[in-house]
Amino acid sequence: MKGSSRLVAFLGIIVIMAGVFAWTTPGLVNDIRLGLDLKGGFEVLYEASPMEGGEKVTPSSLKETRKSLEARIDKKGIAEPEITTEGSNRIRVKLAGVTDEDEVRDMLKKPVNLTFRSGANRDKIELNGTDFVQNGAAIQRDEFGNPIITIKLKDAKKFEEITKRLTGQELAIFLDDELLSAPKVNYTISGGTAQISGNYTTEEATKLKDTINLGALPLKLTEKYTQSVGAKLGQQSLHQTVEAGLIGSAIILVFLVILFRIPGVIAGITVVSYVWLLLLVFIMMNATLTLPGIAAFVLGVGMAVDANIIMYERIKEEIRSGKSLLSSLKAGSKNSLRTIMDANITNIIASVVLYVIGNGAIRGFALTMIFSILVSILTNIFFSRFLIHLLIRSNKFNKPSYYGVKEAEIRAL
Amino acid sequence: MHYNDKFHTNIRFDFIKHQKKFFGASLALVVLGIVSLLVFGLNYGVDFKAGTNMDIEIGKAVTQEQAKELLGTLGYKDLAPTVGGASNQRLSVRFDEVLEQPKVTEILNALKKQYGDQVSAEVNVVSPDMARELGVKTIYAVIIASVAIMIYVAIRFEWRFALAANIAILYDAFVVVALFSIFRLEVDLPFIAAVLTTIGYSINDKIVIFDRIRENLRFSKTKNKEQLAEMVNASLWQTMARNVYTVLTVLIVAISLYLFGSESIKLFALAKIIGLTSGAYSSVCIASPLWLMLRGKQKPKQTAKTSAAS
């Protein structure tokens, strides 16, 4: 390739990149998933414990509890809930865009105490939530189209005994201390399934069915950690911190060009591609950007250019020692690579440890840090080298001053 | 200031000659930090000390007195709310107790009634066992990260380099902790992130300098103390520009975050600023003289082998 065609290739790459970045960046920015601390919402870490003691929290009961939380949240119509189990007895719930946080949290946490009671004062507890098969209650229609609720019990024998004993009497359904309904037992029921009928409207029947299913939730949940962020505050954090990042990055770009001239311009180009590629990685990994994540992103800009600086300073040194531009470039990039990789590896070690211990937002920080280091290896080491190679070999920029070296500093070899 | 012909380097300041002053100053800071930690301890945020933290954007200027009065009417006495933000619109209150959600709502509603519906808050509630768990995890994290980085440096360099570098990075981490203790700044989880990344980042300049020292060691066969000191000075000055520039770029973004970033990221940014500054200082003024001291302890051998460095 001739020198001028290398320059054309260089300019072509820049123009194409600028076009792609300008065209795709708004879309990328819009697609990025924001953490609760940026869009507002709340996160609760629950610790589950058995309602009645004795029983251990089993993986399946934890999973079922998660499912029932999901169902409750779905019923509320809250979009994109994130509910995950952690360890052996924890459930983390993240909800965004909730307008009635108090109500939702009450609903989630409430130790639903469903009881079926008998006796004149309705004070003898015959059955409670754990006697029912989870999600076993359903709505059916009788021959007249009236809604009836079917329930399933775990222990058919026990239910048979109860219904036999209470035939002709009431079996009142309580949620906590609130009487929901007081159906009469008409006959002994065997087989563990039963129907509750009455003059229910569809709405009432649905509510009763949901309550029984809710009552089958076997674990008590205690809030161990909560974070709640107002939507306005989140947006403000987002805007301020992104703005801070842009200001810092702009200063760095000016700083690089003043210090390193031509290579400084290349550093600037690689920083822009670093930001673009990191956004792309974020979206492809479906990672969540948190406030500390933005901080890591921004610090990453400062750290990414370290690779450029270490390499350029080394190249300057080689030029000063009297080597030709091309051999300075070769020696400079070779000698600086190991140092740059050392720096990246130690930073990755610290970030991985942070990821392992951290929770929510800090994990976002650690993850962003790791991504940003990996991306910067691509853009600020390899891509930067490629670009500077093209420029130097184009033979259009041969003066040492283009690289920030004064003629007087160059020694004879 | 003099020009060293052998290393073609302008030595503008003799760091080795003044090493005692640096060691003295740093030691004084360490002692001050230890005393402060023993006497005052750290000002733990809710992440580590259970309770409730409310960060409230009021949207209007507010004074500490007003906030105190309002909280007092709700029955919260002896609180020390702090007012921050560019125009005193940000209120931060910490409660030692774990507040139930209705109480949090009550406080926010009272604020909204007084200042308007634009009031928006971040509320963190941490139970005692979670705080303890996080504290334990954090201590492990700092130890694991330091040890892992130490092992890495020990593999990359001979033991004197590794020891000198590790003392310096631990010093940097300690300086951040000490200054936060002395100035009673709040220690939360992002602070730990700042300390851990300080450890990871501050090693960089040391590696740059030690790589250069190792390279220069190969040139000089006779190594008496003066020659070694001169070589270390030359290595420091040869790498000075890149060390200053690399720290400066990260410092620029950290300062931008501190000045323009959101309130909740400010202390993190401050911790980074302290760590970065200390890291730059300790590379030049602590790690390198320390290496020379360790090296000097070695008995001078006439038939010294050339460095095993590759």
* Least CB–CB distance from A346: residue in B203, B248, B251: B203
Amino acid letter, residue B46:
V
Q: Which residue has the higher pLDDT, A55 or B304?
A: A55
A295/B127 touch (CB, cutoff 8 Å), yes or no: no
Tell me what pLDDT residue A131 has: 86
Q: Which residue has the higher pLDDT, A243 or A197?
A: A243
Q: Indicate the average pLDDT of chain A.
A: 86
Burial track B158-196 (b if 16+ CB lie within 10 A, e otherwise) = eebbbbbbbbbbbbbbbbbbbbbbeeebbbbbbbbbbbb
Tell me what pLDDT residue B309 has: 38
Tell me what pLDDT residue A176 has: 63
Same domain? For A203 and A284 the reply is: no
B200/A295 touch (CB, cutoff 8 Å), yes or no: no
In Å, how far are A319, B60, B67, B92, B146 from B56, measured between CA atoms? 56, 11, 11, 6, 36
Q: Which of A299, A308, A321, A413 to mutate to test the interface with B (most CBs of B within 10 A)?
A: A299
The whole-angstrom separation of Cα A299 and Cα B275 is 13
A292 in contact with B at a CB cutoff of 8 Å?
yes
Tell me what pLDDT residue B308 has: 40
Tell me what pLDDT residue B102 has: 86
Residues of A in contact with B199 (CB under 8 A): 350
Same domain? For A45 and A24 the reply is: no
Chain A residue whose CA is closest to B125: A226
Helix, strand, or coil (residue A118) = strand
- A249: part of which helix (H) or strand (E)? helix A231-284
Chains A, B: CB contacts under 8 A, how many? 224
The pTM of the full predicted model, rounded to 2 decimals, is 0.83
Chain A, window 250-269: residues with a beta carbon less than 8 angstroms from a chain B beta carbon = 251-252, 255-256, 259
Dump pLDDT digits (tens) for A178-200.
687 888 888 888 888 888 887 88
Q: How confident is the model at residue B35 (pLDDT cuts 50, 70, 90)?
A: very high
* Least CB–CB distance from B130: residue in A224, A298, A369: A224
A242 in contact with B at a CB cutoff of 8 Å?
no
Q: Which of B117, B137, B188, B245 to mutate to test the interface with A (most CBs of A within 10 A)?
A: B245
Tell me what pLDDT residue A175 has: 66
Min Cα separation A360/chain B (Å) = 11
Min Cα separation B268/chain A (Å) = 9
- Using the 3D structure, point to which of A164, A191, A217 is the last residue of a domain: A217
- Mean pLDDT value of segment B168-197: 92
Same domain? For A243 and A368 the reply is: yes
- Mean pLDDT value of segment A195-224: 79
The whole-angstrom separation of Cα A88 and Cα A355 is 20
Tell me what pLDDT residue B4 has: 82
DSSP per-residue codes, A304-345? HHHHHHHHHHHHHHHHHTT--HHHHHHHHHHHHHHHHHHHHH
What's the longest Cα–Cα distance across chain A? 112
Q: Which residue has the higher pLDDT, A18 or B298?
A: A18
Chain A, window 167-226: residues with a beta carbon less than 8 angstroms from a chain B beta carbon = 222-226
| Tokens at A252, concatenated | 């760095």
A233/B241 touch (CB, cutoff 8 Å), yes or no: no
Residues β-bridged to residue B92: B55, B82
Min Cα separation A412/chain B (Å) = 12
Tell me what pLDDT residue B306 has: 44
Same domain? For A249 and A356 the reply is: yes
Check whether A90 has a pLDDT greater than 70: yes
Residue A322 sits at φ, ψ, to 5 deg, of 100, 0
Tell me what pLDDT residue B303 has: 44
Same domain? For A101 and A121 the reply is: no
What's the longest Cα–Cα distance across chain B? 83
Check whether A16 has a pLDDT greater than 80: yes
B190/A365 touch (CB, cutoff 8 Å), yes or no: yes
| Cα atoms found within 13 Å of the Cα of residue A364, Cβ hemisphere only | 22
A173-177, B129-133, B150-154: the lowest-pLDDT one: A173-177
- Using the 3D structure, point to which of A197, A228, A259 is the last residue of a domain: A228
Chain B residue whose CA is closest to A290: B265
Are the C-beta atoms of residues A153 and A131 closer than 8 Å to each other? Answer: yes
- Mean pLDDT value of segment B280-285: 96
Same domain? For A140 and A234 the reply is: no
Residues of A in contact with B138 (CB under 8 A): 357
Q: Which of A42, A47, A226, A253 to mutate to test the interface with B (most CBs of B within 10 A)?
A: A226
Residue B51 sits at φ, ψ, to 5 deg, of 145, -160
Q: How confident is the model at residue B302 (pLDDT cuts 50, 70, 90)?
A: very low
- B11: part of which helix (H) or strand (E)? strand B9-11
Q: Which residue has the higher pLDDT, B299 or B241?
A: B241
Residues of B in contact with A222 (CB under 8 A): 127
Tell me what pLDDT residue B247 has: 94
* Least CB–CB distance from A302: residue in B200, B203, B252: B252
Q: How confident is the model at residue A217 (pLDDT cuts 50, 70, 90)?
A: low
Same domain? For A31 and A74 the reply is: no
Tell me what pLDDT residue B310 has: 36
**CATH code (residue A71):** 3.30.70.3400
Check whether A53 has a pLDDT greater than 70: no
| Tokens at A149, concatenated | 């609720």
Task: Give all domains of chain B, ordered by start, each with its CATH number.
Answer: 2-44+130-301 (1.20.1640.10), 52-120 (3.30.70)
Same domain? For A26 and A105 the reply is: no
The whole-angstrom separation of Cα A276 and Cα A388 is 20
Q: Which of A36, A92, A357 to mutate to test the interface with B (most CBs of B within 10 A)?
A: A357
Tell me what pLDDT residue B221 has: 67
B196/A354 touch (CB, cutoff 8 Å), yes or no: yes
Are the C-beta atoms of residues A180 and A211 closer than 8 Å to each other? Answer: yes
Domain total for chain A?
A: 3
Are the C-beta atoms of residues A380 and A271 closer than 8 Å to each other? Answer: yes
Domain residue limits at A74: 39-111+220-228
CA terminus-to-terminus distance, chain A: 29
- Mean pLDDT value of segment B272-297: 93
Same domain? For A238 and A386 the reply is: yes
Check whether A274 has a pLDDT greater than 50: yes
- A215: part of which helix (H) or strand (E)? helix A202-215
Same domain? For A118 and A171 the reply is: yes
The whole-angstrom separation of Cα B206 and Cα B164 is 9
A241/B120 touch (CB, cutoff 8 Å), yes or no: no
Among left, alpha and beta (phi > 0; psi -120 to 50; other), residue A57 is beta
Amino acid letter, residue A236:
Q
Angle in degrees, 0-180, between the axes of helices A231-284 and B225-260, rounded to the nearest 10: 120
A357/B141 touch (CB, cutoff 8 Å), yes or no: yes
B196/A229 touch (CB, cutoff 8 Å), yes or no: no
A244/B105 touch (CB, cutoff 8 Å), yes or no: no
Chain A, window 20-59: residues with a beta carbon less than 8 angstroms from a chain B beta carbon = 37, 40, 45
Tell me what pLDDT residue A404 has: 82
A314 in contact with B at a CB cutoff of 8 Å?
yes
Dump pLDDT digits (tens) for A290-333.
898 899 999 999 999 999 999 999 888 899 888 888 899 888 88
Same domain? For A243 and A392 the reply is: yes
Tell me what pLDDT residue B264 has: 87
B101/A343 touch (CB, cutoff 8 Å), yes or no: no
Amino acid letter, residue B21:
K
Residues of A in contact with B190 (CB under 8 A): 292, 295, 361-362, 365
Residues of A in contact with B253 (CB under 8 A): 245, 248-249, 252, 298-299, 301-302
Chain B residue whose CA is closest to A343: B204
- Using the 3D structure, point to which of A181, A206, A228 is the last residue of a domain: A228
In Å, how far are A212, A290, A366, B132, B190 from A360, measured between CA atoms? 33, 8, 10, 17, 11
**CATH code (residue A158):** 3.30.1360.200
Q: How confident is the model at residue B307 (pLDDT cuts 50, 70, 90)?
A: very low
Same domain? For A297 and A378 the reply is: yes
A313/B242 touch (CB, cutoff 8 Å), yes or no: yes
Residue B116 sits at φ, ψ, to 5 deg, of 110, 170
Tell me what pLDDT residue A1 has: 61
